[in-house]
Structure 1
């Protein structure tokens, strides 16, 4: 996968792309990152990329020319791949694990990170393919949102994680929150690991995990269960969980 980022502050990505799973994935040849300062594409003699909004109002708005030219240049470099062009903005689609899985199947992603008051609307309407929001709050710019999306997508690439089952069993991958996890020691200051996990009975362990996943989802994010296609057994366990609560 090739990941391009358009940002006015490319230095923000140095530590992120050079650490942990993102770094290892690039070293394995699974992904290539490239960050471009789209100020380099402005035709303004003062290197400005923003201007006052028509009609008045607070703040500055990013002008279309630098971003259009930057995206078009990246497309020319990769003519065989039709990229997804992703705009990070508060008005975008709420980001989810399902969206991460969808994007992880692409070969080329371009992230547009804005600053200031917003974007010229023609950027939304004619340049990007996706608008993404990582939550109902406002950040100074799109860089942190892009980092979140890139991290969640990269870890889904085959070979990115040591255990191939890890991303499959993450919270939200099944639609539910992940079950509780334990490790050694079995008894820590009187706080004990559930006996079923020490039993060696894989069938019972798997059933416990599904039921606990249902329990955690019911208690913390019941909205995730609405409309979920549960098996008859899962429905039975969910009813048991509700009665226990």
Structure 2
């Protein structure tokens, strides 16, 4: 996979591309990361890329010409152009899984009051939002998207199986995790995890994943296709909560 980021502030990605898993993935050649400075394509002698909005109003709008030229400089037949925008579709794990299968992502980071809408209408394939709030620019959302996608690429994580068990990957939240020491502040690790019985451990983790999802994010269960066994577990959890109250 190749990821090109179109931004007014490429320096914001300097430490990001050297950081932890992302840095190691780049070093290993598991994906290609490239920063494109939109200002480099400005014809203005001062390298300005913004102007006043037609019709009046506060703030400035990014001009279409430098953005268009920046896109063309990296666009290929297999490219998917994404504009990070608070007006985009909400980002989730399902979308991350889909994007991880793409060959080339071009991420456009907006600033000011946004970009000229002609770019969005004619040269952007997807608008994505990381949440229902507004940030000063698209760089942080771009980092969120990159991190969530790259970790799904083959070879990036040491244990590929860990992805399958993570929150949201299979529609449920992840089961609770424990490590050493066995007893901390007189609180012990659940005995089943120390039993060595992998069948019981797997069953316990499935139960806890459903329980955590029901307690913390019940709306996720409405989207998740529960098996007969999982439905039985969920009813057991509901009954246990009812009895406790």
TM superposition score normalised by structure 1: 0.96
Q: 2:84 is matched with which residue? A: 88
* Deviations, residues 151-179 of structure 1 (Å, cap 9, x unaligned): 00000000000111121211100101101
What secondary structure, in the 3-state scheme, does the structure 2 residue paired with 1:85 have?
Answer: strand
Query: Counterparts of 1:228 and 1:180 in 2: how far apart (Å)?
Result: 19
Specify which of 139, 154, 157 is matched with residue 161 of structure 1.
157
Q: 2:127 is matched with which residue? A: 131
The equivalences for 1:41-190 within 5 A come to 41-75=41-75, 79=76, 81-190=77-186
* Deviations, residues 124-144 of structure 1 (Å, cap 9, x unaligned): 111111111001111110000
Query: Counterparts of 1:122 and 1:169 in 2: how far apart (Å)?
Result: 42
Work out whether 1:196 is the aligned partner of 2:186: no
Q: 2:3 is matched with which residue? A: 3
Query: Counterparts of 2:181 and 2:39 in 1: how far apart (Å)?
Result: 54
What secondary structure, in the 3-state scheme, does the structure 1 residue paired with 2:14 have?
Answer: helix
Query: Counterparts of 1:228 and 1:106 in 2: how far apart (Å)?
Result: 25
Query: Counterparts of 1:14 and 1:243 in 2: how far apart (Å)?
Result: 52
TM superposition score normalised by structure 2: 0.96
What secondary structure, in the 3-state scheme, does the structure 2 residue paired with 1:166 have?
Answer: helix
Query: Counterparts of 1:67 and 1:213 in 2: how far apart (Å)?
Result: 44
Q: Report if the CA contact (8 A) 2:25-2:156 is conserved.
A: yes
Let me know the Cα RMSD of the aligned residues. Answer: 0.9
What secondary structure, in the 3-state scheme, does the structure 1 residue paired with 2:137 have?
Answer: coil
Q: Report if the CA contact (8 A) 2:172-2:224 is conserved.
A: no
Shift of 1:46: 2.8
What secondary structure, in the 3-state scheme, does the structure 2 residue paired with 1:161 have?
Answer: coil
Size of the aligned set, in residue pairs, is: 241
Q: 1:230 is matched with which residue? A: 226
